[in-house]
């Protein structure tokens, strides 16, 4: 098993970040549709990362039992950075969207979504979740560098098309770090 198994699941996580990006534009025309979009996107990121976390567990077992992949396929160790970074980015965007959409000014007066501070509470939960995912990605980058160093000590890895596989995951981590850095 390699981390190529993550690619079908990552589409849910990538699609979920689109909801956080589109929500402010939809909110101008229909706040209820914007809330529906953000809620659906939150479900997508939850399902996508749950499945991804299951695959992470299997992959860690594979690394422990069989060691890092041989040859150029060792670069697939960098792929778990993509879902972690993308899910963290998606949580940040969804948290800010929930913050601008909540509390609701319509609906049941006793409803939970009408409570003051509900949007900010959900945003804080999303930021904490994003930090947890960033720490998971930090662990994976250390594992990936160690596996790459282990493989380079044993054999030379030829430059191939598989080197492009490390671009997406590493850029996702940077996209998550830059908004945190700008907030400080």
Q: Give the domain ranges of the chain.
A: 3-183
Enter the pTM of the model. 0.81
Per-residue confidence band for 103, with pLDDT thresholds at 50, 70 and 90:
confident
pLDDT digits (tens, 9 = 90+) for 42-95: 999 999 999 999 988 888 888 889 888 877 777 778 778 888 888 999 999 999
Q: What is the pLDDT at residue 40? A: 95
Q: What is the pLDDT of residue 178?
A: 59
Helix (H, G, I), strand (E, B) or coil at 105: coil
Percent of the chain with pLDDT over 90: 25
Q: What is residue 59's predicted lDDT score, i.e. its pLDDT?
A: 85
Enumerate long-range contacts of 6-9, CB under 8 Å, 24 or more apart: 6/52, 6/55, 6/79, 6/80, 6/82, 6/83, 7/79, 9/48, 9/51, 9/52, 9/55, 9/83
Whole-angstrom CA distances from 3 to 57, 83, 84 are: 11, 11, 13
């Amino acid at each position: 098993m390699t981390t190529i198994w993550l690619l079908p699941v990552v589409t849910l996580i990538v699609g979920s970040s689109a909801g956080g990006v589109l929500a402010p534009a939809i909110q101008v025309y229909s706040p209820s549709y914007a809330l529906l979009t953000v809620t659906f996107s939150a479900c997508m990121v939850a399902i996508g990362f749950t499945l991804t976390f299951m695959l992470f567990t299997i992959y860690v077992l594979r690394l422990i039992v069989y060691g890092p992949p041989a040859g150029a396929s060792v670069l697939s160790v960098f792929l778990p950075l993509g879902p972690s970074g993308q899910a963290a980015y998606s949580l940040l965007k969804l948290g800010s969207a929930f913050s601008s959409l909540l509390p609701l000014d319509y609906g049941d007066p006793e409803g939970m979504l009408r409570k003051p501070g509900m949007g900010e509470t959900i945003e804080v939960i999303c930021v904490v979740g994003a930090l947890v995912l960033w720490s998971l990605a930090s662990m994976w980058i250390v594992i990936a560098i160690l596996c790459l160093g282990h493989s380079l000590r044993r054999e030379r890895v030829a430059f191939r098309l598989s080197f492009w596989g490390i671009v997406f995951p590493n850029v996702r981590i940077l996209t998550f770090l830059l908004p945190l850095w700008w907030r400080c």
